[in-house]
Structure 1
């Protein structure tokens, strides 16, 4: 496999595997790139730019010639997307079976020319073409609302990579695309796994209370008896009363938590009760390292442990797949990455549909 660590935009445009990943959208390719970008976040911009350039090219059968006006359209499109990129000169011919793609690009202040040709190669008719999770060029930043009317936990995946496991009877509101601020509004109970971003803290609002984090995992519960509870698995969080935050003695109305600590706030009494947990949580770092390191473990046992830790129900064919033996280290991975890595190991695919986690695969 190619080492993509130092790849720039032009390198990705010349890479056969990358081009296939964009055009064919094969599930195993998508899993590879999602995992690779999680390990190399500094390459996300280059990957996104290269992907957009490939998708922006109008694809025509090889037997059809591109007219001058069509070439000009391509150039104008690429100029718009690549003005901020370093200049490059490159040429690559790509051919596999019945299909061929050819590209040549020259970027400078006075010239740019790119021509792509494809024979009988079409993009899949799907909205899920993302190699990297990026915002559309034109977006409506609507407020999404999810309510869990089921009897099982519901998975909510947000645009920044953060996750929420929404408990039955609970509701969550959040922006479709986070821009200046990452904040969600919770009614009920949810477990959160927040993607780390020091430049953009993550806020959970629940009635008068709020939780501020950078990147961590924790549970928030707004109970019917006028109490508010936060339990921290990893990282560090600040819990505070939003109404009291403006008061001179605001420190009285806030508390900081670290792993294996919890706080209960009596809303009517304006009083915090902070305590350490007698038994460390399974997702806390020291416990997870042991609990999520597997040697010759059956897939069924691994999934059962994930279900228990996150309070979810991963759907799969236990009769066909449950006895597959695996070695895996999943302790430092968020929930969705744990599932994707398992699927990659058994050559299966996974889907996150309407809050459900589904694994599809065949017996090896």
Structure 2
């Protein structure tokens, strides 16, 4: 039998025996866990938190209940998703909030870099932008130019996503084991996994944005010599890239931002508080991405509009299915996977596109 003494919430969410106990409540499971809790009273709050997360999953397709087979499938799904990245199964009345409990919870990192090359490359094409992408040369980097008229979805080695806008270019390390370094010209939307040991850094216009766990927007306009960062959630550090001859300290050339703040750099930093909270800030996202009896098509359109992507699906087949869902704290790819799970569909990230396919019931 597994030794659960050192288990935390995340560990219980990986454990089949624990999940089956919460979802099925078999007598033999109850006997074990009741006895274990009596002998480990200090773990009561941890177990209760884990139980609350798992038991908050309810699926109500056409007012039917889950069969044993469906429960087993759901358990497998939860385990599979947690092995790859923290996710929550919370659609068709799925309300599965991992954000409070998972140490490795995915952090929504959203930012937009709008540079002069965004305009130039529409005329000059990919090769010219390729030559102008910053960063170190060599085979350790991927370089991608989006010469199409649609956004291109890019998945990096740590599972982080980038939505690269038309006419934009990105260069990033093939492996993020030692550093997570991205160079960008143009416009992109990012979702980055939290990893305090290896900060995620974005380089543009001689400026650096260092992620401390957050979502944010970056706008770099070289023609106006202006660089702007707007924070949705969490915290970011913004600083001017040092030259070899620059011996000044980081504190003199940096600024830290919290939610609903922005900084503009034109020769010096100008820090401001935004008058209206951003749509991806916690207080607004909670409302915008909580759905009650909402058609699948409406949810998809909301995701498309907020994230600037285009999701392909059979609207006639799936569009009118109504869902209850709480998706406010989930990154883009998890949102898509969760609504697909609810309607018995699958999703693929193919050649920069998101494609949803209905499956047989």
Q: State TM-score, norm by structure 2.
A: 0.61
Is the contact between residue 190 and residue 221 of structure 1 (CA under 8 Å) also seen in structure 2?
no
Residue 221 (1) aligns with residue 219 (2): yes
Deviation at 1:202, TM superposition (A): 0.7
Aligned-partner Cα distance in 1 for 2:13–2:259: 35
Aligned-partner Cα distance in 2 for 1:355–1:278: 35
Q: How does 1:242-281 map to 2 (within 5 A)?
A: 242-243=241-242, 246-248=246-248, 250-266=250-266, 270-281=267-278
Which runs of no fewer than 5 residues in structure 1 stay unpaired?
A: 9-26, 44-139
**Structure 1 counterpart SS, 2:312:** coil
Aligned-partner Cα distance in 2 for 1:363–1:295: 25
Q: How does 1:309-348 map to 2 (within 5 A)?
A: 309-348=306-345
Is the contact between residue 215 and residue 235 of structure 1 (CA under 8 Å) also seen in structure 2?
yes
**Structure 2 counterpart SS, 1:300:** helix
Deviation at 1:277, TM superposition (A): 2.1
Cross-structure match for 1:157:
155
Cross-structure match for 1:236:
235
Is the contact between residue 13 and residue 79 of structure 2 (CA under 8 Å) also seen in structure 1?
no
More helix by share: 2
Deviation at 1:334, TM superposition (A): 0.5
1:120-144 CA-partner distances (Å, limit 9, x unpaired): xxxxxxxxxxxxxxxxxxxx97311
1:30-87 CA-partner distances (Å, limit 9, x unpaired): 96444233349799xxxxxxxxxxxxxxxxxxxxxxxxxxxxxxxxxxxxxxxxxxxx
Deviation at 1:241, TM superposition (A): 0.7
Residue 5 of structure 1: which of 2, 14, 20 is its match?
Answer: 14
Deviation at 1:232, TM superposition (A): 1.6
* Bigger mean CA offset, 242-251 vs 191-200: 242-251
Residue 350 of structure 2: which of 337, 342, 353 is its match?
Answer: 353
Aligned-partner Cα distance in 2 for 1:227–1:42: 36
1:95-154 CA-partner distances (Å, limit 9, x unpaired): xxxxxxxxxxxxxxxxxxxxxxxxxxxxxxxxxxxxxxxxxxxxx973111222223322
Cross-structure match for 1:291:
288
Aligned-partner Cα distance in 2 for 1:30–1:208: 46
Cross-structure match for 2:206:
208
Residue 36 (1) aligns with residue 45 (2): no
- The verdict on how the C-alpha distance between 1:189 and 1:167 changes in structure 2, with shifts beyond 3 A counting, is same
* Bigger mean CA offset, 248-257 vs 174-183: 248-257
- The verdict on how the C-alpha distance between 1:241 and 1:4 changes in structure 2, with shifts beyond 3 A counting, is closer
Aligned-partner Cα distance in 2 for 1:6–1:39: 14
Q: State TM-score, norm by structure 1.
A: 0.61
Aligned-partner Cα distance in 2 for 1:353–1:359: 10
**Structure 2 counterpart SS, 1:214:** strand
Cross-structure match for 2:131:
none
**Structure 1 counterpart SS, 2:304:** helix
Is the contact between residue 141 and residue 177 of structure 1 (CA under 8 Å) also seen in structure 2?
no
Deviation at 1:297, TM superposition (A): 0.5
Which one has a bigger Cα radius of gyration? 1
Is the contact between residue 205 and residue 227 of structure 2 (CA under 8 Å) also seen in structure 1?
no
User: Matched residue pairs, number?
Assistant: 245
Which runs of no fewer than 5 residues in structure 2 stay unpaired?
A: 1-11, 18-72, 88-101, 105-137
Deviation at 1:276, TM superposition (A): 2.1
- The verdict on how the C-alpha distance between 1:28 and 1:158 changes in structure 2, with shifts beyond 3 A counting, is farther
- The verdict on how the C-alpha distance between 1:155 and 1:252 changes in structure 2, with shifts beyond 3 A counting, is same
